[in-house]
Chains A and B, each alone.
Chain A
Amino acid sequence: MAKVLIPTPLRQYAGRNDSVEATGATVGEVLDSLTGQYSELRHHLYSDEGKLRSFVNVYVNDEDIRYLEKDSTPVTDDDTVSIVPSIAGGHRGY
């Protein structure tokens, strides 16, 4: 099974685990397996339309899936899938 690294803010929805083993041959399947184990995570990762939220970045090892095959990116049992939020800001807008 692939290992999914859970960022600190989402661990409260993943049984307080910092990583979760998940099955699947693609990123989409692995994330389905993850949210199948921890259903609360689904809302934080996916929109109501079932798409990965725009501020959620997913890496397979060191590769951003946006530059691979997105949800169809292949995943093996030796792979590590990382969930990384997009963070930005700026002083204007106050």
Chain B
Amino acid sequence: MIRIEQDAWRKMVAHAQVTYPNECCGAMLGTIDGDAKTVKVSIELDNAFEGVQQERYELRPRDLMNADRAARQQGMDLIGIFHSHPDCDAYFSATDLKNSFPWYSFVVISVKNGKFDHANSFLPNAEQTTANEEEMEHPAVSPAA
């Protein structure tokens, strides 16, 4: 279960919309209580993919390291990654799975025609052979957002 708080969610959606038609990416910081994660802060990160960014994203390891450091400084943990799918649904593709990392939650945000459409969260298994959809709670997105 992952719950995303208002300010973190607002920034995630804004990042996905502003970077459209490219895929965006970022880190989610928060707290863990058993199987439940709460995202309190989101950090917009650069898509470092050197090819067609409408189809792919890549996190710069240095950026992920800095996001982890920021989490530690704020007494939180880096608990997941978010990225967007422009003009397609928020599924977890084979490419997403193959290049993921177990335990992190992966929130996928669908942006269609530049506007938020829907989102899902996924948890890759330890072998990265499959990812289960994770129950997610997030604030509603205003049509004017």
Interface set of A (CB-CB < 8 Å, partner B): 5, 7-9, 12, 18, 55, 57, 59, 62, 64, 82, 84-94
CB pair A93 B61 closer than 8 Å:
no
CB pair A82 B68 closer than 8 Å:
yes
CB pair B57 A90 closer than 8 Å:
yes
Other-chain residue from B23, B83, B94, B104 in contact with A93 (beta carbon distance below 8 A): B94
Mostly helix, strand, loop or mixed at chain B's interface? mixed
Known: A88-B49, A89-B57, A92-B56. A8 touches B95 (CB 8 A): no
Other-chain residue from B58, B68, B77, B98 in contact with A84 (beta carbon distance below 8 A): B68
Report A-chain residues with C-beta under 8 Å of the C-beta of B68. Answer: 5, 7-8, 82, 84
Report B-chain residues with C-beta under 8 Å of the C-beta of A84. Answer: 61-62, 64-65, 68
CB pair B55 A90 closer than 8 Å:
yes
CB pair B72 A93 closer than 8 Å:
no
Known: A55-B101, A92-B56. A85 touches B64 (CB 8 A): yes
B70-100 CB contact bits vs A (8 Å, 1 = yes)?
0010000111010101101001011110111
Other-chain residue from A55, A62, A86, A92 in contact with B55 (beta carbon distance below 8 A): A92
